Amino acid sequence: MPHRHDTAAVCVIRQIRDHSRECHNLPAREVLLRVERRMIELLEDGPESSVSGSWQDHAAVSPM
């Protein structure tokens, strides 16, 4: 079986997952899991979704 090279995004998702498993701070772990889920969603959506637009939508909802 040939060696499969993962994309940078997949490597980052794995690092986030590993870090969240080792994290003993529950609020921090929840944030890491949310980030992981969001990154997976962005990968599944593909190039047709606008990353900057989705972040702007979240920023508009957040109180300043």
List Cβ neighbours of 49 (8 Å cut-off, separation of 6 or more).
42
Residue-level pLDDT at 64: 40
SS3 45: helix
Digit-coded pLDDT (tens) for 30-59: 999 999 999 999 988 876 655 555 554 554
Structural domain that includes position 35 = 8-61
> Is residue 48 situated within a structural domain?
yes
- At residue 46, the pLDDT reads 77
Which tokens is 43 given?
A: 């990968």
pTM above 0.85, yes or no: no
Model confidence pLDDT, tens digit, residues 9-23: 889 999 999 999 999
- 1 domain-assigned: no
Number of domains the chain contains: 1
In a domain, 2, yes or no: no
DSSP 8-state secondary structure symbol assigned to residue 49: S
Whether residue 56 is contained in a domain is answered as yes
Q: What is the pLDDT of residue 4?
A: 66
Asked if residue 26 belongs to a domain, the reply is yes
Model pLDDT, residue 63:
47
